[in-house]
């Protein structure tokens, strides 16, 4: 079992059985029990399933089913045999290694393929929570984006042009070190917000360092808005100029 890092849902490894000895491993994700009584979170969970099930792409984790058992919603989804980008980077840091420019560029390019597909779908789906824990790397070399739990279509806006889904506390929603400036300031969003978040991931892959993460949430959000961003090669001299330019 694993939570998603934000305490919103829980995920379990499950198995689907069929006739003739058919078996398939998958992930069963359900809303966290502490939040299941709050309709706001239930609505977000169901919205994730409705959005994700319509996305069929090699670089997006597949969602098979939305179900309800004993008043608890669950999502059945693809099991990726691998690690999150956060886990891979943590292992690299522990070994005092970086992934290197070639592998970092490959991972970023594969993420962008999945995002481009979502952005071009009817309604132009914006992920809004692209982060280190929402990118999976399989042992077979696949790169997949998951957890469209905060995704919204560009059409889902209020009369002021702002995306309607908000955290109840008024804080920005999403993983703080990977938010775009527009998310921090709670402005209207489009696909460029996801590209900014992808740029953060790319910078961190190339350097092995954290770009905006600080000890306190307030400082992290302030850094996104105003901290200087140096070219990756400033920290990792092996990064070629072409990847510097793409990342920046």
**Is 129 marked active-site?**
yes
* pLDDT for 150: 59
pLDDT per residue as tens digits for the range 171-195: 677 788 999 999 999 888 899 999 9
Q: Classify residue 113 by its DSSP letter.
A: H
In contact, 180 and 188? CB cutoff 8 Å: no
In this predicted structure, the answer to whether residue 3 has a pLDDT above a threshold of 50 is no
In contact, 12 and 1? CB cutoff 8 Å: yes
Global pTM value = 0.84
In contact, 93 and 213? CB cutoff 8 Å: no
Active-site hit among 9, 129, 147, 244: 129
């Amino acid at each position: 079992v694993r939570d998603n890092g934000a305490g919103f849902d829980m995920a379990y490894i499950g198995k689907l059985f069929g006739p003739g000895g058919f078996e398939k491993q998958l992930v069963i994700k359900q809303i966290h029990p502490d939040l299941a009584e709050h309709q706001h979170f239930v609505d977000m969970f169901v919205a994730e399933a409705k959005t994700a099930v319509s996305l069929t792409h090699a670089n997006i984790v597949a969602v098979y089913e939305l179900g309800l058992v004993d008043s608890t919603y669950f999502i059945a989804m693809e099991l990726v045999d691998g690690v999150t980008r956060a886990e891979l980077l943590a292992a690299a840091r522990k070994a005092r290694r970086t992934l290197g420019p070639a592998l970092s560029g490959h991972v970023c390019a594969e993420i962008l393929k999945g995002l481009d597909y979502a952005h071009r779908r009817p309604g132009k789906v914006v992920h809004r929570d692209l982060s280190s824990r929402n990118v999976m790397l399989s042992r077979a070399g696949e790169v997949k984006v998951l957890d469209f739990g905060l995704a919204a279509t560009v059409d889902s806006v209020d009369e002021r042009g702002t995306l309607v889904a908000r955290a109840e506390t008024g804080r920005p929603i999403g993983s703080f070190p990977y938010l775009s400036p527009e998310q921090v300031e709670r402005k209207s969003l489009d696909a460029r917000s996801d590209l900014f978040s992808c740029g953060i991931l790319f910078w961190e892959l190339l350097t092995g360092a954290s770009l905006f993460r600080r000890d306190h949430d307030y400082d992290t959000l302030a850094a996104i808005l105003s901290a200087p961003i140096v070219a990756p090669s400033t920290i990792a001299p092996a990064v070629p100029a072409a990847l510097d330019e793409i990342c920046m």
